[in-house]
A and B are shown apart, each in its own frame.
Chain A
């Protein structure tokens, strides 16, 4: 479909353009009076492939996922799932009763995952901020370090995890060599890092290693806009480094921070890859996160209804979070068209 420039009704669209002097007003580039916008199928044609994929792979499965929580789906009727019997709220009653062992496991897993998320995101942010602040000044080797710091993020996620698994794995591994042999921690005991309570800490370390470069990347992009003169002025006024950081750097990254923390929290809360590579299909119970728990229930013990009921709860929680997320991501005013 071809549009001429005379078609100024459609030519002046896109209220987000930075140079658009009067959003929504026809610009009349050729000086002709603006025509009434013509009904066009072009916008729909352009989003059609994306819409089909979204419906087939995202929306459809999400709705079906809700349905699964209300039927009795077993290994036997898995290939003939359309005929699985409807059981109402039975799956929720069985799985999410806080009195039962399964229910307790679910709720303590949610709590553990929240704690995990706070620790991983918190430390990743601090490391990312440290890297961004000190790499925003010019010095020799800056460009190389910047690329180097991004390597853990660019590596396939499972490669980073395999590396750490090897370092944690044996009692004689690299981690124990550094901590026990070099720094003489733990009273020269050699802890097993991938068992019991320790495995939770080990998983956090691996996740921070992989996630912090993303915080670094985003914060560095945000800091690029701070002119050095601002710091110079503050230094002349006698502000210490810490004061400069608190009063100049932190406020400057605030707009980027909301989105950054939100995205990192979601990724971390939904983490599956790291425990899957580190522990296999079933994590130690002290280190089980929400996604692996649902996976274990569905594909480990073939209890699809239970997995489904947990998924629905998760869906509701994330939906509420997503409302906040979208408000943060969409710039004010850009969402009313």
Chain B
């Protein structure tokens, strides 16, 4: 819009309010994570009386945070890599190849995105039970069960976004490569993937964020040995006490990987989303 004086005043007011709205909870988390426990109880202190790094050291011994971290990392990284790979193949097929049942396939994938996890939770649990009874393959309480669950739940969005992205890449690029004798798969790997990098990064970040923050399936499909961070953080709150300062310190620590990743690829994410999702 045109920058009149009124516009500038209004802009400053609105952006200040929005910034405070975003910043206050973040400030509360960070400032609480630096306070000793005795200063956390009672009236909230906006300016800490005393600053200490000890919550950041204590979090590792109060609960097995490193173990939860490792579990989350293994599950999330595997789910993200697999999801992106599967989505790239399917999206390429939808965007570039002609086949019977394409419409039915795309519609099914798209519509499953609509349904909440709660509808799948119990049936999935039962199916996993049956698979264990039949084959001995342990999908509950194992990494594998959560990995395939998470990767499937991010697939619809990933396929939809990537097929839009692939379709917007000029076909001449691939054709030139295929003339050089690379074949279709060669063209996909050498030509399409480099061009579609922003879209692929956006999809990977989306998958990573979704899996890293997932609670519902983790609450039923993990056990003590495979517990992820989303559930593990609860352990800072016992029956009698909540170690709020440690809980906040742990929150900061578990947020850092996604936050850093997000800020690094933020430009790609916006570009990828606007190319793939906003038509």
Binding site for B on A (CB under 8 A): 1-5, 10-14, 16-20, 29-30, 37, 40, 42-44, 46-47, 49-51, 53-54, 56-62, 64-65, 68, 78-79, 81-82, 127, 130-131, 133-137, 139, 145, 147-152, 154-160, 162-164, 166-167, 170, 172-174, 177-178, 209, 217-218, 220-222, 224, 228, 231-232, 235, 241, 244-245, 249, 255-256, 259, 266, 269-270, 272-273, 276-277, 290-291, 294-295, 298-299, 304, 307-308, 311, 314-315, 318-319, 321-322, 325-326, 329-331, 335-337
Contact = CB atoms under 8 A, between A and B. Distances in A.
B: contact size bracket: 35 or more
Interface stretch (B59-67, B121-129, B193-201): B121-129
B124 A147 contact: no
Given A166-B28, A270-B117, A318-B114, A158 B213 contact: yes
B160 interface: yes
A166 B170 contact: no
A217 B114 contact: no
A315 B119 contact: yes
Contacts of A217: 270, 273
Contacts of B116: 269-270, 272, 290-291, 314, 318
Given A159-B251, A304-B122, A37 B98 contact: yes
Contacts of B209: 154, 156
Nearest to B209: A154
Given A64-B127, A331-B279, A16 B89 contact: no
B54 interface: no
B159 interface: yes
Contacts of B171: 11-12, 14, 17, 19-20
* Majority DSSP secondary structure for residues of B touching A: helix
A57 B215 contact: no
A50 B170 contact: no
A48 to B, nearest CB: 8
B73 to A, nearest CB: 13
B28 A156 contact: no
A49 B89 contact: yes
A90 to B, nearest CB: 18
